[in-house]
Structures are given as structure tokens and as C-alpha cells.
């Protein structure tokens, strides 16, 4: 398949709205809903993290983490890129007479199930791929059953996002999944028969609970298919066309999981456990990216169809700034009191504070790559995939090299974790630079999300944060984190946000003709 290139705007078409004001309003509305979901998800996910380490221990969490990363990566492969590709299939299918949206979604679900069955069979034959440091219990192998459920949930949520229904994503991913996992992890710990497998069983329960939530909303929105039947040739074409998207999704997520996998291969389960705790804390700002991703795909595909590339560039700049501004504040709030934050998981993992700081920095530098890729996957799939492959190869080489260097120097597990985090920072910074340059060339418009107001906001926040590190840890956490966020937020609002940016926080601004609720 040849790489897609932006078509030329037809002269007879109406002058495009290069500002994309209606689309920005739609993005802001979806982002507001999902950002609230991010907060709820954090509140549900953090108890799992803290209680998991306190109840099950660092090594058990390390073995769980090694299996978790394989499940998530394989599930993204099985989703066949539908997280973003479904929006384009539904947009294109709308022009085909007799094409049913629900039938197109079921095509994707069938293809996903077939791929899931094949890959799960391989993992059952070679379980050591998932458990390089062994298992906590014989029941851990059931984690493989989460793969098809995870993949189907991605497809169903993408279908809902196409209808601008972001609330379902919030319910499934931000409420049902994390809270089920947190509650189940505690409950299973006290059930003697499955106590050792509590982490795996809690994970499995949370994934299927999220699937049930997504399926319920999907059936209410789309209903059951009518006249649908498997179309082998169409499924083969769809799967082939999805490969660049699959590669982009897997590599984008893989950059956040490769380090855990390599630590599992080259170090101990304790090192993996330390790193996984830091990574999960650092993933909080990273999840803000997903606040806009579900609504960004349908907006971009519709503008691509009309050739409105000025609007796409404006959306990339706007959303990119929203993401980096929000991520920057959270990174400072969690990074400055890093020792106190890591200490919540127990004294054994405080040595991962350096890794936490680097991982938080990595999420900030990655923001430009994430937003650029949301467009490149449609207009330069193969080029984007080639860049992503190069980036993850760079990360892998740097991670192994830095781990080996720490071993040669006789450094402890905390330094090995920091080495893996540093490799991620360098790789993601390279990705952001290269992908932004490629996108700028294709759209013939600036796409950078950087503004100097971010530095102006960070400076006083750093001063306030370090002042709180001189106080007892509980004050540092309970008062210091909100103080850092408030200082940063006040300055970035005054110095960085213009009127277009502030639409993100105005609930009464909606795109024209949008009568749907989020």
C-alpha cells in the first residue's frame, strides 16, 4: 500500500475554516470530560498501586508488571489499530450506500478475535515470554484471557468516540476498570485460596468489567448488526491496511513498556517492581494525552476528507499546548516531592526517586510526538512507522547499554531503574523533534506546542515545591502538591493561555450543531 499524502484542496470547495473553531470546541468538550475521567482514574488506580506494594510486596508486583506489559502490548496488536483506524473506516463507509456503521465495527471485532485466538495460543505454549522472572501463582496464566477483552474494549470505545461519546471511555477506563482492580486486589488478598494470585485475578476482573461497560453503551448507541456476515476478503484487506496503525500504536505504547520488559530480562524482579511503581506514578500525566485522543481522531479524519490542513495544524498546536501545559504542572507536583511520593509504596522503593523524576520529564518531552503522530498515522503511515521503529530501537539500545553500565560500576537497582528512565527521555525527545518536523513539512504550517510561558510558570512552582521539601513528608504531600499545582496553574493561566486556550475550561462553549452530551 502506498503512503497516503495530503490531497490538494479543490478550488470549487468553500473556503475552509482554518481556525477550526467548531472542532476546537469539540476537542475542548471531549478533553474536559476525559480530563475529569483522568482525575477519577488516578483516584482509583493509586490505591491499587499503594495497597499492592504494601500487601503483596515489591517482588510480587515486579512479576505482575512483567506479565502486565506483555498483555497490554499484545492486546494493542489484537486491536488492529482500530483505536484510530476505526474513525477513518466509519468516515469512509458513510459514503458507501448500504454500509452500516455497526457492521463495520463488528468486522473489526471479528478480525480482532481471530488474531487474539492465534496469539493467545502461542502465549499458552510459551508462557515464559510473559513471566521471565516466574509467576506468583499457577493461576497467573489466566492473565492471557485479558488480551481479547482489552482489544475489544479498545474497538468499542473507539466506536463511541466517533459519535463524540467520551463519557463511556471515562466510565470504562477511569471508573470501572481502576476501581474494580483496586477493590479486587484487596479482597482477593484475604481469600486464602487465591491470595497468591490476587494481583492477576484483580487485573482480569477489571479488564472484563471495563469490557461490559463499553459493550452496554455500544449496544445502546449502535444496536445489534443487521444482515452482517463475515467477509473474508474485506477482513484481509482491513487487516493489511491496519498494519502501519498497529505498528504505530504498539510502538507508541511500547516505548513506555519496553523498559519494564528489558529490566525483567536483565535485572531482578525487585528492580522491575521499583521501576513499575515509578512508572505508574509518572503515567498519570501521560494519561492526559488520552483525554484528547478519542475525540482527536474523528475531528482529524473529517478535516482530512475536506483538505482543511490549516485547521489540522491549528488543532495540533492547540491540543499540543493543552497537553504539555497540564503535563508540566503534574510532573512538577509529583517530581519535586518525589521521595515522599515513592515512600508511599514502602521504604524498599524510595531508591526509585531518580527514575520517577526522569519518567515525569519523559512524558513532558513526549507530548509533541504524541499529537504529531495523531495526524501522521493518517497522512504518512509508513514514514511514521519507520520513525517509531527507529525510536524504539534507539530506546532499547540505550536501555541495555545503561543497565550494563550500572552493573559494571556496581550500582544498585535504583540506578538501573534510573538508567532505563534516562533512555526513555532521550528516545522520546528524539521522536518529538523528528515527528514534528515531518508533520510541519506535510501540512506546510507550524505545529509546535512550545511556549515560553511554560518556563515562566515552572520557575515559581519549583521554588514553592522545594520550600515544602523542608517540611515533614505528610505536609509535603497534603499541602505541598496542591501548592505547586496552584502556583503553576495561576502563572500559566495568566501568561500562557489566550482566549482560544481558555475554551478548554468553558463548559458553555460547544461546537455548532452539537446537541449531544458528553
What does the H/E/C string look like for 298-342? HHHHHHHHHCCHHHHHHHHHHHHHHHHHHHHHHHHHHHCCHHHHH
Query: Positive or negative CA dihedral for 204, 205, 206, 210?
Result: positive
- pLDDT value of position 515: 40
C-alpha cell at 362: 519523559
CA 44 to chain centre: 16
- What single-letter DSSP state applies at residue 288? T
Q: Break the chain into its structural domains and give their ranges.
A: 21-505
What's the CA gap between 493 and 480, in Å, rounded?
20
pLDDT of residue 205: 96
Contact by Cβ (8 Å): 100, 291: no
| Contact predicate 316/371, CB 8 Å | yes
All residues at 6 or more sequence positions from 343 whose CB lies less than 8 Å from its CB, including other chains: 350, 473
Q: What is the C-alpha separation between 340 and 351, in angstroms, rounded?
A: 11
Under 8 Å between Cβ of 255 and 391: yes
In the chain, what is the straight-line distance between the N-terminal and C-terminal CA atoms, in Å?
Answer: 37
List % helix, strand, coil for the chain (3-state, nearest 5): 80, 0, 20
pLDDT of residue 260: 82
CA distance 65 to 342: 17
> 82-93 and 293-306 helices cross at what angle (nearest 10)?
40
CB 178 within 8 A of CB 41: yes
User: What is the dihedral sign for C-alpha 509, 513, 516, 518?
Assistant: negative
For residue 188, count other CB atoms closer than 10 A to its CB.
Answer: 20
CA distance 266 to 275: 13
45: cell is 488506580
pLDDT value for 503: 57
- CA–CA separation, 464 and 491 (whole Å): 13
Tell me how crowded residue 5 is: count the other CB atoms within 10 A of its CB: 10
Q: What is the number of residues in the chain?
A: 518
Closest CA to 390 of 495, 255, 489: 255
Please state, in angstroms and rounded to a whole number, the distance separating the CA atoms of residues 431 and 434.
5
Query: By three-state DSSP, how is residue 366 classified?
Result: coil
DSSP code of residue 99 = -
pLDDT value at residue 401: 94
Instruction: For residue 33, give Cα distances in angstroms to 165, 175, 209, 504.
Output: 10, 13, 21, 10
Sign of CA dihedral 431, 434, 439, 440: positive
Grid cell of 491 as nine digits: 502563572
Give pLDDT tens digits along the chain (518 positions): 445 444 444 333 333 444 455 555 655 555 555 555 556 666 667 788 888 888 898 888 888 988 998 898 899 899 988 877 887 788 776 545 446 888 899 999 999 999 999 999 999 999 888 888 788 888 999 999 999 999 999 999 999 988 878 788 888 988 899 889 999 999 999 998 888 999 999 999 999 999 999 999 999 999 988 888 888 888 888 888 888 778 777 877 777 778 887 887 787 778 888 888 888 888 776 666 655 665 677 778 778 877 888 888 888 888 888 888 888 998 999 999 999 888 887 787 888 888 899 999 988 888 888 888 888 888 888 898 899 889 999 999 999 999 999 989 988 877 888 899 999 999 999 999 999 999 999 988 888 888 888 999 999 999 999 999 999 988 999 999 999 999 998 998 888 777 666 555 555 444 444 444 33
pLDDT value of residue 344 = 81
pLDDT at residue 23 in the model: 57
Can you tell me the distance from the alpha carbon of 18 to that of 31, in angstroms, rounded to the nearest whole number? 21
Whole-number pLDDT of residue 323: 83
**The whole model's pTM is what?**
0.71
Amino acid at each position: 500500500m502506498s503512503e497516503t499524502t495530503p490531497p490538494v484542496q479543490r478550488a470549487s470547495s468553500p473556503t475552509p475554516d482554518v481556525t477550526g473553531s467548531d472542532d476546537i470546541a469539540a476537542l475542548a468538550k471531549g478533553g474536559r470530560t476525559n480530563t475529569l475521567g483522568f482525575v477519577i482514574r488516578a483516584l482509583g488506580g493509586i490505591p491499587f498501586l499503594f495497597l499492592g506494594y504494601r500487601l503483596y510486596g515489591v517482588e510480587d508486583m515486579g512479576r505482575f508488571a512483567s506479565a502486565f506489559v506483555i498483555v497490554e502490548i499484545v492486546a494493542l496488536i489484537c486491536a488492529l489499530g482500530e483505536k484510530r483506524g476505526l474513525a477513518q473506516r466509519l468516515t469512509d463507509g458513510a459514503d458507501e450506500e448500504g454500509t452500516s456503521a455497526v457492521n463495520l465495527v463488528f468486522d473489526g471485532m471479528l478480525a480482532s478475535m481471530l488474531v487474539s485466538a492465534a496469539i493467545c495460543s502461542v502465549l499458552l505454549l510459551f508462557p515464559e515470554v510473559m513471566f521471565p522472572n516466574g509467576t506468583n501463582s499457577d493461576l497467573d496464566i489466566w492473565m492471557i484471557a485479558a488480551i481479547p477483552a482489552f482489544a475489544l474494549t479498545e474497538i468499542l470505545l473507539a466506536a463511541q468516540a466517533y459519535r463524540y461519546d467520551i463519557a463511556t471511555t471515562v466510565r470504562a477506563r477511569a471508573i470501572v476498570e481502576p476501581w474494580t482492580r483496586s477493590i479486587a486486589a484487596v479482597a482477593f488478598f484475604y481469600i486464602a485460596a487465591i491470595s497468591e494470585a490476587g494481583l492477576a485475578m484483580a487485573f482480569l476482573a477489571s479488564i472484563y468489567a471495563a469490557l461490559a461497560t463499553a459493550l452496554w453503551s455500544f449496544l445502546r448507541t449502535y444496536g445489534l448488526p443487521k444482515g452482517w456476515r463475515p467477509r473474508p476478503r474485506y477482513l484481509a484487506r482491513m487487516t493489511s491496511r491496519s498494519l502501519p496503525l498497529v505498528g504505530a500504536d504498539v510502538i507508541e505504547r511500547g516505548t513506555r513498556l519496553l523498559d519494564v520488559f528489558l529490566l525483567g530480562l536483565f535485572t531482578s524482579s525487585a528492580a522491575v517492581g521499583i521501576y513499575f511503581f515509578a512508572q505508574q506514578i509518572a503515567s498519570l500525566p501521560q494519561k492526559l494525552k488520552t483525554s484528547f485522543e478519542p475525540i482527536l481522531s474523528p475531528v482529524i479524519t473529517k478535516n482530512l476528507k475536506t483538505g482543511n490542513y490549516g485547521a489540522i495544524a491549528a488543532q495540533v498546536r492547540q491540543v499540543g499546548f493543552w497537553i504539555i501545559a497540564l503535563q508540566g504542572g503534574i510532573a512538577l507536583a509529583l517530581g519535586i516531592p518525589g521521595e515522599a511520593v515513592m515512600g508511599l509504596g514502602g521504604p524498599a522503593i524510595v531508591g526509585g526517586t531518580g527514575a520517577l523524576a526522569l519518567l515525569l520529564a519523559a512524558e513532558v518531552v513526549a507530548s509533541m510526538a504524541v499529537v504529531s503522530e495523531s495526524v501522521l498515522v493518517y497522512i504518512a503511515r509508513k514514514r511514521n512507522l519507520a520513525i517509531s521503529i527507529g525510536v524504539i530501537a534507539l530506546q532499547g539500545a540505550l536501555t541495555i547499554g545503561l543497565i550494563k553500565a550500572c552493573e559494571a560500576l556496581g550500582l544498585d537497582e535504583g540506578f538501573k531503574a534510573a538508567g532505563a528512565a534516562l533512555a526513555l527521555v532521550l528516545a522520546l525527545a528524539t521522536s518529538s523533534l523528528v515527528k514534528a518536523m515531518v508533520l510541519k513539512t506535510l501540512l506546510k504550517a507550524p505545529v509546535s506546542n512550545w511556549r515560553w510561558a511554560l518556563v515562566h510558570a515552572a520557575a515559581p512552582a519549583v521554588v514553592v515545591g522545594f520550600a515544602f521539601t523542608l517540611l515533614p513528608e505528610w505536609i509535603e504531600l497534603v499541602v505541598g502538591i496542591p501548592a505547586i499545582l496552584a502556583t503553576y496553574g495561576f502563572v500559566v493561566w495568566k501568561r500562557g493561555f489566550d482566549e482560544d486556550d481558555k475554551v478548554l475550561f468553558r463548559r458553555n462553549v460547544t461546537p455548532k450543531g452539537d446537541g449531544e452530551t458528553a
